[in-house]
Amino acid sequence: MSLTHPSEVKALLNELGIRPNRKLGQNFLVDGNILQILLRAAGLHARDAVLEIGPGLGVLTEWLARWAGRVVAVEKDRRLAAFLTKKFADKPHVEILEGDILDQDLEALLASGVNKVVANLPYAISSRLLFSFADSARAPERITVTVQKEVAERIVSPPGSHDYGLLSVVIQLRYHASISKEVSPTCFLPPPDVKSAIVNMERRPAAIDPRDREWLLRLLKTAFAHRRKQLQGILARLDGRGDKRAEEQLVAAGIPPRARPETVSPDQWVRLADASRPTA
């Protein structure tokens, strides 16, 4: 059976009594070319421990099991999890976890040795998941995922562009990100209502981290909630520091006081966080 043939995927789903649930992001990849592009972008080796999220019928999992030394696949649908457990029962290096990825301890998974994430991510949770991975102290070496095209564009957008925002900054501080391939809705069964893209994120060899990451995130969330306003005014209202102090801190970070959040680079955000962080 080929899980990249729509008719055979339909037959297997019928056999399992499963009707694709859009709320769970159940759009099954049925294009072999896209599958191979995703795998090549992931750059897998036998030493890799890979996390897959939403494996579905296991079309990607089969290939991950061939190339990686360890595969952890998290599936929310109980019926699919049972099917996958049976399917990969003879492969001890493949672990199927039944449950919602949002309920899993991501830090524990990463601490267990997982160094790559390869998946067709459920669209509803893709931004939240990628934010969590990028924000982790154990950020994976590489993340290669299919996401909604709109999310992919936000991830790779440079400062000053329309799509540049909080997600762009957090990911670009840790990763070099690029779009490997746009993916048509017809590559999935059932076809989603939006276009998709494969995004490849390779961890920066020397990521720039702030002295206080919690303060950086607070600063970013506050600033991008007012992305069209000038940074001096935004910073001045934080903790009541006032215009003069805010201007001094922006200048110290090498940022013009009248700059807007959407024009500030990830590295500049770190410098501003360090220059403006509250002191006891």
pLDDT value of position 239: 84
223 and 197 co-located in one domain? no
141 and 165 co-located in one domain? yes
pLDDT of 161 > 80? The answer is: yes
Domain membership of residue 258 (yes or no) is yes
Q: At what angle do helices 126-135 and 166-174 cross, to 10 degrees?
A: 40
pLDDT value of position 12: 94
230 and 156 co-located in one domain? no
The count of domains in the chain is 2
User: What's the pLDDT tens digit per position in 108-142?
Assistant: 999 999 999 999 999 999 999 999 999 998 999 99
195 and 89 co-located in one domain? yes
User: What's the pLDDT tens digit per position in 199-215?
Assistant: 999 999 876 778 889 99
DSSP percent split of the chain into helix, strand, coil, nearest 5: 50, 20, 35
pLDDT of 198 > 80? The answer is: yes
167 and 241 co-located in one domain? no
Tell me how far CA of residue 229 lies from CA of 157, 204, 215, 235, 265, in angstroms. 20, 30, 20, 11, 16
pLDDT value of position 1: 58
Domain membership of residue 208 (yes or no) is no
pLDDT of 260 > 70? The answer is: yes
- Domain residues for 15? 6-203
158 and 199 co-located in one domain? yes
Q: What is the CATH number of the domain that holds 134?
A: 3.40.50.150
Domain membership of residue 41 (yes or no) is yes
pLDDT of 37 > 90? The answer is: yes
pLDDT value of position 280: 58
225, 190 Cβ separation under 8 angstroms: no
Separation between Cα atoms, residue 126 and residue 149, nearest integer Å: 11
Average the pLDDT over 25-35 and give the result: 94
Q: Please tell me which residue, 241 or 233, carries the higher pLDDT value.
A: 233
Separation between Cα atoms, residue 257 and residue 147, nearest integer Å: 36
Tell me how far CA of residue 258 lies from CA of 17, 161, 182, 229, 240, in angstroms. 59, 17, 36, 9, 18
77 and 20 co-located in one domain? yes
171 and 233 co-located in one domain? no
Q: What is the mean pLDDT of the chain?
A: 94
Separation between Cα atoms, residue 162 and residue 275, nearest integer Å: 27
Q: What is the CATH number of the domain that holds 267?
A: 1.10.8.100
Domain membership of residue 159 (yes or no) is yes
Q: What would you measure as the largest C-alpha separation in the chain, in angstroms?
A: 69
3-state secondary structure of 52: strand
63 and 168 co-located in one domain? yes
171 and 219 co-located in one domain? no
198 and 218 co-located in one domain? no
Separation between Cα atoms, residue 131 and residue 148, nearest integer Å: 15
pLDDT value of position 80: 97
Domain membership of residue 1 (yes or no) is no
Average the pLDDT over 19-25 and give the result: 82
Which letter, b or e, does each residue of 252-261 get, where b requires 16 or more Cβ atoms within 10 Å of its Cβ? ebebebebbb
